[in-house]
Structure 1
C-alpha cells in the first residue's frame, strides 16, 4: 500500500497498516514501533505484556488502552510491577480503562517476578529473547503477511522455555507476535518503507 500526498507516493506500508479504514494510532504504531529492533528490557516487557493482553481481542483495542496500562503498571518498571500484590490486582480489576481479564493482569505481575528471578541468575529478558535469533533480527522477506504462519518452531520452543521458567499467558502465537513487534523478526512486507 502507499501513502500519497498531492498524487506523489511518499511511502508504502505493510498492507495491514495501510488500509483506508486503518486508524491513525495503528498506522503510527506500525511506523514508529512495530518490527523495530528493541533491546531495552523495560520496553520488551511492555511489548510482551501488550501482546499477552491481545489474546482473543484485536490489536486496536489494546492500543486504545495502552496509556491506562502504562499508568496501572508503573510504566512497566519491572521491579515495581513485581512488587504488586493481590490487593493491587483487585484494584486493577475495578479499573474500567483496562482490559479486565484477571488472568492476563495477574500474568503481568507474575512475569515481572520471573524477570526478577532471571536477574538473580545474572540474566535478562533482553538476552533471553535476543539469544533466540543470535542477537540479529531475522528478515523473513515477507511479500504478504497472509503467507506467514501464526507461530514457528522458534516461538514454540521459546513459549515452552518461558513456561518452564514460570512465565504465564505466553503461548507460541503470542510469543511469535511479540518477536515481530520487538523486531526480532523483520516481518514488514518487502515493499514497505519500514522493511
Structure 2
C-alpha cells in the first residue's frame, strides 16, 4: 500500500525523501538549526527543490555549516564561494551567511543555545496545524513576523517572515503536514 504524502513533494525522489525523513521533524540541535536557517536564506526568491539539489554542495562549500568557521570567513573565502558553481552565488546572501553566523553565536551566548531562543517562541512545543491541503498553508504568520523582527534586530539578514515560517516548518516548530499525510502523526 502506498503512503499518502503531502502534495508539495510528490514526483521527485529527493523531495519525497526529504519530506519523509526531515521536514517537520522537531530540531533542537543548534548545528542543524543553523544549517536550515542558512539554506532557507539562500532559498529566498527560489524554490526549495533548487536548494535541496545543491545541499551537499552547500555543506562542502560552507564547512558543513560550522558557524564558528563561517563567522571568521575573510574576503578571500567569500570570493571563493562566489566562484563556486555548486551553490547559489548571490553576493548578498553569502555575506549574510557570515554575519548571520556571528549573530547566531551572540544568541547562543545570551540564551545558552540558539535552540532555547528559537523554541522559546513556541514554548518548546510544536504548533500542530490541521491542513487538509498544503496549498492552504500560510506563507507567514504573526509569530513568524515576530521572530523575523527579533532576528533582524539582532543583526540577521535575509530572515523575512516568509523565510522564518519556512524555517519553522522545516524544523518542526510548526507541523504543516496535511492531516492525511502519513507523517502528520509521526512528527
Structure 1 residue aligned with 2:110: 121
CA–CA separation in structure 2 for the residues paired with 1:101 and 1:55: 11
CA–CA separation in structure 1 for the residues paired with 2:160 and 2:112: 22
Structure 1 residue aligned with 2:5: 13
Structure 2 residue aligned with 1:5: none
Deviations 1:61-108 (A, max 9, x none): 101111111011111111111111121111100111110001111111
Q: Which structure ranks higher in relative contact order (CA pairs < 8 Å, sequence separation ≥ 6)?
A: 2
Structure 1 residue aligned with 2:89: 100
Residues 122 and 184 of structure 1, relative CA distance in 2, 3 Å threshold: closer
Shift of 1:120: 3.0
CA RMSD of aligned residues (A): 1.0
Question: Hey, which of these two has a bigger chunk of strand by percent?
Answer: 1
Structure 2 residue aligned with 1:91: 80
Structure 1 residue aligned with 2:27: 38
1:149 aligns with 2:141: no
Q: Which has the larger radius of gyration?
A: 1
Contact 1:68/1:98 (8 A) holds in 2: yes
What TM-score do you get using the length of structure 2 for normalisation? 0.95
Shift of 1:128: 1.5
CA–CA separation in structure 1 for the residues paired with 2:54 and 2:3: 28
What TM-score do you get using the length of structure 1 for normalisation? 0.91
Shift of 1:109: 1.1
4+ aligned runs moved over 4 Å, structure 1: none
Structure 1 residue aligned with 2:154: 165
CA–CA separation in structure 1 for the residues paired with 2:100 and 2:52: 20
Shift of 1:11: 1.4
CA–CA separation in structure 1 for the residues paired with 2:119 and 2:111: 15
Deviations 1:28-87 (A, max 9, x none): 010010000011100000001111111111111101111111011111111111111121
CA–CA separation in structure 2 for the residues paired with 1:122 and 1:158: 15
Length, aligned pairs only: 184
Shift of 1:127: 1.2
Q: Which runs of 5+ in 2 are unaligned?
A: none
